[in-house]
Chain A
Amino acid sequence: MGDREHDPRTTGGLQSRLDRRDFVKACMAAAAAVGLPATVGLRFAEAAAAGLKPSVIWLHFQECTGCTESLLRTSHPDVGELILDLISLDYCETLNAAAGHQVEAALHEAIEKNDGKFVCVVEGAIPTRDNGIYCQIGGRTAQDILTDVASHAAAVIAIGSCASWGGIPSADPNPTGAVGAPEILKGSGKPVITIPGCPANPYNLLGTVLQYVTLGTLPALDDLGRPLFAYARVIHEDCPRRPHFDAGRFARQYGDEGHRLGHCLYALGCKGPETHANCSLLSFGEVGAWPIGIGHPCFGCTEQAVGFRKPLHAAAELPADAYPPIEPEHGTSATAWAGVAGLVGGALLGAGFVASKKLGETEEKS
């Protein structure tokens, strides 16, 4: 029998250690994922190998832990291992070995040790109704914990739609008054990066964290705090099914011919045209497993106005520039050339007339 540690039956298919080559490769992939050059990937690896691992405090509130789970189950490369090697996860309710008072003590210790330097990752929405009593850990409300921890953090990253803008807990009728972390922290002046998604793509988190650690900078953000490298474009723009949209080939019902042939899912209610995310470029879980990839319309999980609000089969708003306007610009060149041609023609006629007249005169003289 082999080593228990390397038996895929006990490790769930994950290798417990990465060799250097795989580690550097994984760092490169993480750098490439966020649009940084490969040399930065090397710096990621060097920083991590030198033990300059950033302290991360991971807070869980109203959520399903799907973001954590998807992060741990990324299979190629082995990000579950990678994240433990690249960052120092000092507090995370899902992964903590300790429990109860021990873990609360660990949290306080981590905050004190890295005051002002650690990254606070928030997962889950924060209830505000009835003084936030609907989510309490260790006797403190989510609101309290977040404001306290965030005040000591260097940066706050809200992972998943719940932490970014409320997500599922904030869906109508929103009985707990759930809101996202930016809403709670908006008065604190703390930068909040949001990485919405249900779950969020782990690479978007990893890239953001690593850029901060290695280069000391935060990625460029849009007005909702989303990193532009991941959320600048709508899914529709880079969708693998986009040519079918442009050609008007649509799946009309689940299982019909168009659906089996992989045609565009817009007519089934795909929200790709109004959802900002990089799912179509950076496949989810690296195996192409994302809604559109498996034949289901995008339901707009990253977008506050769309995900869990707009009915699944309601048609998405399309960007207007995808269509010609009522009076398309045909350019003025045709008209201008017609005018020029007219002038030239007139000049030729006039010249001909004058020439014939002169010819006549010379004939008369001779």
Chain B
Amino acid sequence: MSTTRRDLIRGLAAGGAVAAVGADAVASERPQPPADAVGMLYDATRCIGCRACVTACKKANNLPLELYDPPEDLSGETKNIIKVYEDENTRSYVKAQCMHCLDPACTRACMIGSLQKREHGIVTWDPSKCIGCRYCQVACPFQIPKFQWETNNPKIVKCEMCLHLIKGGGQPGCCEACPVGAVIYGPYQELLADARGRVERHPDRYWPQGSPKIYGESDGGGTQVLYLSAVPFSDLGLPDLGEEPAGHLAAAVQHGAYKWGIAPVALYGVLAAAVWRSHRSSGTGRD
């Protein structure tokens, strides 16, 4: 489905109208997952670092495989990756991928609705709408969306939880491939209950030892991808976001710039002043 010029302008006008109302329109209560929400649960204490998930992801999403030179980070060709945290005493793997936030910053920043929470609460990217502004890259607190710099027709690349496989009754490539069940797929509420059960049964295995935390339960307003770990989450590259939904800041920035139409009014005001001044000076010169 492609967007016509008319649709685009209409959408922009509507967006502008919403934006003009201001940041106050952002819902302030905690975001709730949709009823059919699905998710993933990654348990870093189970991960053996085999990277089967990385390969399976590339296969499932038709991304090029690097056989002898494994990827260094998420990129335009890599939607998930296993990284390692190491200090003197501990060592932990972590799977970096899209968190599928309940209130994502990327969808708030996406001015044209290419990135949206769609079926099952999965954040997907619509190539027919994207204008390539890459605001999503700037907005995401986890630095997930990646841009294909190398190609002439670049795409935004991020984990879409293998929605195409889920629709066919399957599960995401990484969860299917994991040989030890370190990352599992399922309905969001079931995974949350599973994670709570694990921390209850093994309060000393997970961080913080004694009363472990499930990352994503409320972080950044909650995410549909949940993490358990034996080391502090900040060591694994999962930022300490507090409970404020990730989308709030993005929305505040995005909406703030357009509040009362300040940005366009100011821009066109300056331009108009410049034109007027130039016109006046050239006019007096000629007369």
Min CB distance B58 to A, Å, is 9
In whole angstroms, how far apart are the Cα atoms of A363 and B284 in the complex?
13
Q: A299-333 interface mask toward B, CB cutoff 8 Å, 1 = contact, 0 = none?
A: 00000000000000001001010111111101000
> Contact at A248–B67, with CB atoms within 8 Å?
no
Q: Is the CB of B65 within 8 A of A323?
A: no
Interface residue ranges of B178-192 to A (CB < 8 Å): 179-180
> A323 is contacted by which of B52, B83, B180, B236 (Cβ under 8 Å)?
B83
| Given A267-B179, A326-B236, CB of A318 within 8 Å of CB of B65 | no
A203 CB to nearest chain B CB (Å): 28
A117 CB–B CB distance under 8 Å:
no
- Tell me, yes or no, whether B202 is within 8 Å of chain A by CB: no
- Measured between beta carbons, the chain B residues less than 8 angstroms from A245 are 50-51
Interface contact B52-A250, CB-CB below 8 Å? yes
- Consensus secondary structure, chain B interface: mixed
User: Which of B84-92, B107-115, B132-140, B151-159 makes up part of the contact surface?
Assistant: B84-92
Residue of B nearest to A330 (CB): B73
CA distance A248 to B182 in the complex (A): 15
Task: Assess whether B50 is in contact with A328, with CB atoms less than 8 Å apart.
Answer: no
Report chain A residues within 8 Å CB of B85.
325-326
How far, in Å, is A152 (CB) from chain B's closest CB? 46
Does A266 make an interface contact (CB < 8 A)?
yes
In the complex, residue of chain B having the shortest beta-carbon distance to the beta carbon of A321: B84
Known interface pairs A267-B179, A324-B73, A326-B235; A315-B48 also in contact (CB < 8 Å): yes
CB contact between B93 and one of A323, A330, A360 (< 8 Å): that residue: A323
B31 interface residue, CB < 8 Å from A?
Answer: no
**What residues of chain A lie closer than 8 Å to B161, measured between beta carbons?**
none
Interface size of A by Cβ–Cβ distance < 8 Å? 25
Q: Determine whether A243 belongs to the interface, using a CB cutoff of 8 Å to chain B.
A: yes
Q: Contact string, A322-366, partner B, CB cutoff 8 A, digits 1/0?
A: 111111101000000000000000000000000000001001100
Q: Is the CB of A248 within 8 A of B53?
A: yes
B residues less than 8 Å from A264 (CB atoms): 50
Q: Does B94 contact A (CB under 8 A)?
A: yes
Q: Number of A-B pairs whose CB atoms are under 8 Å? A: 68
Chain B, residue nearest A360 (CB): B281
A248 touches B237 (CB 8 A): no
Q: Which of B51-109 contact A (CB under 8 A)?
A: 51-56, 65, 67-68, 70-73, 81-86, 91, 93-94
Residue on B nearest A244 in the bound complex, by CB: B67
A-chain residues with CB within 8 Å of residue B67 when the two chains form the complex: 243, 246-247
1/0 per residue B237-275: CB within 8 Å of A? 100000000000000000000000000000000000000
**Which residues of the other chain, B, contact A360 by a CB distance below 8 angstroms?**
281
Chain B residues with CB under 8 A of A267: 48, 50, 52, 179-180
CB within 8 Å of B: which A233-248 residues: 243, 245-248
Check if A249 is an interface residue, CB within 8 A of chain B: yes
CB of A252 within 8 A of chain B?
yes
Nearest-neighbor residue (CB-CB) of A267 within chain B: B179
Is B177 engaged at the interface, CB distance under 8 Å to the other chain? yes
Chain B residues lying within 8 Å of A252, measured Cβ to Cβ, are: 179
Residue of B nearest to A242 (CB): B68
- Measured between alpha carbons, how far is A322 from B177 in the docked complex, in Å? 20
Interface residues of A in 244-286 (CB under 8 A from B): 245-250, 252, 264, 266-267
| Inter-chain contacts of B281 with A (CB < 8 A) | 360
Closest CB of chain B to A232's CB: distance in Å?
Answer: 21
- Cβ 8 A contact of B52, one of A248, A322, A325: A248
Instruction: In the A-B complex, list the 8 residue pairs whose CB atoms are closest, starting with the nearest.
Output: A248-B55, A323-B84, A326-B237, A248-B52, A248-B51, A328-B73, A324-B72, A267-B179
Question: 4 extra interchain contacts, Cβ-Cβ under 8 A, other than A248-B54, A248-B56, A267-B180?
Answer: A243-B67, A267-B52, A267-B179, A326-B235
